[in-house]
Amino acid sequence: MTFADLVLINGNIITMNPKQPKAQATAIKHDKIVEVGTNHEIKPWINKNTKIIDLKGKTVVPGFIDTHAHMLGFGRSLTTIDLRGTTSIKEIQQKLKEEIQKTPKGKWIFGHGWDQERFKEKRYPTRWDLDQSAPDNPVTLRRVCGHICAINTKALKLANITKQTKPPPGGEIDKEPQTGEPTGILRENAMDLIQKVTPKPDENELMEACVLACQKAVKAGLTGVHWIIDSPTEISIIQKLRAQGKLPVRVYILVPVEFLDHLIELGLQTGFGDNTAKIGCIKILADGSLGARTAALKEPYSDQPNNKGMMLYTPKELKRLVIKAHKAGFQLAIHAIGDHAVEIVLDALENALSRVSREDHRHRIEHASVLNGKAVQRMRKLNLIASVQPHFIVSDFWAGDRVGSERARWAYPFKTLIKEGVTVAGGSDCPVEPINPLLGIQAAVAREAFPEERVAVDEALSVYTVNAAYASFEDDVKGSIEVGKLADLVVLSENPLTVESDKIKDIEVKMTIVGGRVVYCEV
Ligand SMILES: [Zn+2]
């Protein structure tokens, strides 16, 4: 008889295993679960070396998994000006002024999270607005969606953006209608112009940012994240953090399609790695965001009748990339927000799947925000995963203005997706949205508009556990609390299945366990 390293007793364990939905206790040996049952059934696993945690009736759920997180961006956002929730351009100017006071002249200032929809002024901030507070420091402030940024005159000069500058493909430089002067607003690929001239943080700064992001993640009850990288540096950071014992979460790496050829040359495929870190999907951006009115819609924006958003690839180019990645054995994660983008992505995936069949591809559409009945049916038929971020329902309160009431019915239709048999996996899109999965669960469960699209709490839990594990081909090793699976668990202050639905967001994470190790514990 072997004994357990760790047992949890006197708990209210929600296993997410339909064969044994509830339990009182669980035993863990090394990094795996060896028993799930009553206190009595756990007893034989205990000897003098076994650590015992008395849960005192607290609720335990499988560790949450976030299927869409920009971890470096998140970490960096924790160290730049947080403009989320600002309600006027004046307030932004005020925050900039405060920052200037602690910043040496000439040093770059970064901020993120503004949303002009919340502004009293109901317009984008301009370079001239920013110049008033920051005449001598280059400033880059990203919109909450990450698809638009506002920069000041100093930054425009450093990037050499003038009246004459043409935007790169898939990007836009806003210009004053009368004078043709750039206003300081850069959209989509035009942001590369500023990225090129911004000083690159050194690797230590980046590592620190990632450590910070991981700590926040486990504090929020996450035991796994699907980590969207921007550059190869992030893979080496993940590896270093792991070697230094500073990687508390499991990582499924989503690699931008720009690196597809390199991965193919190396013979890598989805799934390479181990339970701590592995190569996940190839990530492709098909369109922009609703907030920035760059998400590609079939019909024009209701609040901007001459605009249908923009695709970042031609349909032909998208098809080519999709089949290339699919053929090479990669799982795809394609960002598509507008209904037009979703349709073009479905065409590309349908084409790839009909030409090169693969039994278990688990290709994903990221966001899949504006759908319609036909798109949902096609997603089901192609066995696609909807990788959604329920908290957008709360933040994109203006989505109805963008798409009008008829299409709004089809924005974030989670219940319909689930009912029609599409696997829905959940994430945050952090730092666009907060990392806390309980906020996402509450948003999905307690949405105000279109209550017919509310999902049940247990469905929402699946979205962040079993379904999220499925979305990385790992449902056989995690996502539920059952014998043989990895011991990834979260202890919660309350039971999400029984608290009032508007109180789910207030549930506290008391403890997070990854592979049998306590990686976070509230003191
Ligand atoms: Zn994202």
The 10s digit of each residue's pLDDT in 37-74 is: 999 999 999 999 999 999 999 999 999 999 999 999 99
Beta pairing class for 25-29 and 32-37: antiparallel
**Ligand 1 centroid distance, CA of 469 (Å):** 18
C-alpha span between 292 and 304 (Å, rounded): 11
- pLDDT confidence of residue 517: 97
Phi first, then psi, for residue 24 (nearest 5°) are -105, -30
pLDDT band at 77 (very low <50, low <70, confident <90, very high): confident
**Ligand 1 centroid distance, CA of 213 (Å):** 15
Q: Which of 435, 441, 439 is nearest to 455 (CA)?
A: 441
Q: Is the pLDDT of residue 395 over 90?
A: no
The residue whose two tokens read 């701590």 is 276
**Ligand 1 centroid distance, CA of 482 (Å):** 31
> Are residues 117 and 291 in contact, defined by beta-carbon separation less than 8 angstroms?
yes
Quick one: which H or E segment has residue 273?
none
Q: Is the pLDDT of residue 291 over 90?
A: no
Q: Which of 385, 503, 479, 393 is nearest to 444 (CA)?
A: 393
**Ligand 1 centroid distance, CA of 268 (Å):** 23
pLDDT band at 396 (very low <50, low <70, confident <90, very high): confident
> Are residues 67 and 426 in contact, defined by beta-carbon separation less than 8 angstroms?
yes
- pLDDT confidence of residue 320: 98
C-alpha span between 152 and 184 (Å, rounded): 6
Kindly report, residue by residue over 4-45, the tens digit of the pLDDT.
999 999 999 999 999 999 999 999 999 999 999 999 999 999
**Ligand 1 centroid distance, CA of 69 (Å):** 7
Average pLDDT over residues 296-302: 97
C-alpha span between 232 and 261 (Å, rounded): 13
Average pLDDT over residues 453-461: 97
Kindly report, residue by residue over 313-368, the tens digit of the pLDDT.
999 999 999 999 999 999 999 999 999 999 999 999 999 999 999 999 999 999 99
Average pLDDT over residues 367-381: 97
**Ligand 1 centroid distance, CA of 288 (Å):** 10
**Ligand 1 centroid distance, CA of 385 (Å):** 16
Burial 363-377 (b: 16+ CB within 10 A, else e): bbbbbbbbbbeebbe
Alpha helical stretches, state H, 290-385: 315-327, 339-355, 373-381
| Distance from the first to the final alpha carbon of the chain | 34
User: Residue 17: how many CA atoms within 13 Å on its side-chain side?
Assistant: 20
Q: Is the pLDDT of residue 416 over 80?
A: yes
**Ligand 1 centroid distance, CA of 67 (Å):** 10
**Ligand 1 centroid distance, CA of 323 (Å):** 22
Q: Which of 232, 201, 224, 242 is nearest to 75 (CA)?
A: 201
> Are residues 366 and 334 in contact, defined by beta-carbon separation less than 8 angstroms?
yes
**Ligand 1 centroid distance, CA of 429 (Å):** 5
- pLDDT confidence of residue 382: 98
C-alpha span between 366 and 442 (Å, rounded): 20
Cα 387 to Cα 66, 245, 335, 473: the distances in Å are: 10, 29, 9, 14
User: In Å, how far from its chain's centre is CA 389?
Assistant: 7
> Are residues 81 and 109 in contact, defined by beta-carbon separation less than 8 angstroms?
yes
Cα 180 to Cα 164, 184, 294: the distances in Å are: 8, 12, 22
Kindly report, residue by residue over 183-232, the tens digit of the pLDDT.
999 999 999 999 999 998 889 999 999 999 999 999 999 999 999 999 99
pTM: 0.88
- The conformational region for residue 412 under phi > 0 = left, psi -120 to 50 = alpha, else beta, is left
User: Quick one: tokens of 169?
Assistant: 């493909």
Sheet holding 25-29, edge to edge: 32-37, 25-29, 6-9, 51-54
**Ligand 1 centroid distance, CA of 433 (Å):** 9
Q: Which of 163, 321, 197, 179 is nearest to 256 (CA)?
A: 321
> Are residues 368 and 386 in contact, defined by beta-carbon separation less than 8 angstroms?
yes
C-alpha span between 273 and 34 (Å, rounded): 24
**Ligand 1 centroid distance, CA of 147 (Å):** 10
Q: Which of 463, 498, 476 is nearest to 386 (CA)?
A: 463
User: Quick one: tokens of 134?
Assistant: 């920051």
Q: Is the pLDDT of residue 118 over 90?
A: yes
C-alpha span between 338 and 319 (Å, rounded): 18
User: Angle, to 10 degrees, between the axis of helix 339-355 and the axis of helix 373-381?
Assistant: 20
- pLDDT confidence of residue 18: 97
Phi first, then psi, for residue 183 (nearest 5°) are -85, -15
Which DSSP symbol is given to 311? B
**Ligand 1 centroid distance, CA of 491 (Å):** 28
**Ligand 1 centroid distance, CA of 367 (Å):** 8
**Ligand 1 centroid distance, CA of 194 (Å):** 20
**Ligand 1 centroid distance, CA of 257 (Å):** 14
**Ligand 1 centroid distance, CA of 70 (Å):** 7
C-alpha span between 131 and 224 (Å, rounded): 42
Average pLDDT over residues 167-172: 93
- pLDDT confidence of residue 523: 76
**Ligand 1 centroid distance, CA of 45 (Å):** 43
**Ligand 1 centroid distance, CA of 176 (Å):** 30
Q: Which of 323, 366, 312, 313 is nearest to 348 (CA)?
A: 323
**Ligand 1 centroid distance, CA of 145 (Å):** 8
Beta pairing class for 385-388 and 423-426: parallel
**Ligand 1 centroid distance, CA of 68 (Å):** 6
Which DSSP symbol is given to 147? S
**Ligand 1 centroid distance, CA of 431 (Å):** 8
Average pLDDT over residues 449-457: 95
Angle, vertex CA 113, rays to CA 110 and CA 118, nearest 5: 135
User: Quick one: tokens of 297?
Assistant: 């819609």
The Cα diameter of the chain in Å comes to 82
**Ligand 1 centroid distance, CA of 484 (Å):** 33
C-alpha span between 522 and 512 (Å, rounded): 9
Average pLDDT, the chain: 96
Alpha helical stretches, state H, 356-476: 373-381, 392-395, 399-408, 414-419, 437-445, 457-464, 466-470
**Ligand 1 centroid distance, CA of 252 (Å):** 14
**Ligand 1 centroid distance, CA of 335 (Å):** 8
Percent of the chain residues past pLDDT 70, beyond the cut = 100
**Ligand 1 centroid distance, CA of 52 (Å):** 40
**Ligand 1 centroid distance, CA of 366 (Å):** 8
**Ligand 1 centroid distance, CA of 37 (Å):** 39
**Ligand 1 centroid distance, CA of 481 (Å):** 29
Helix, coil or strand: residue 226 = strand
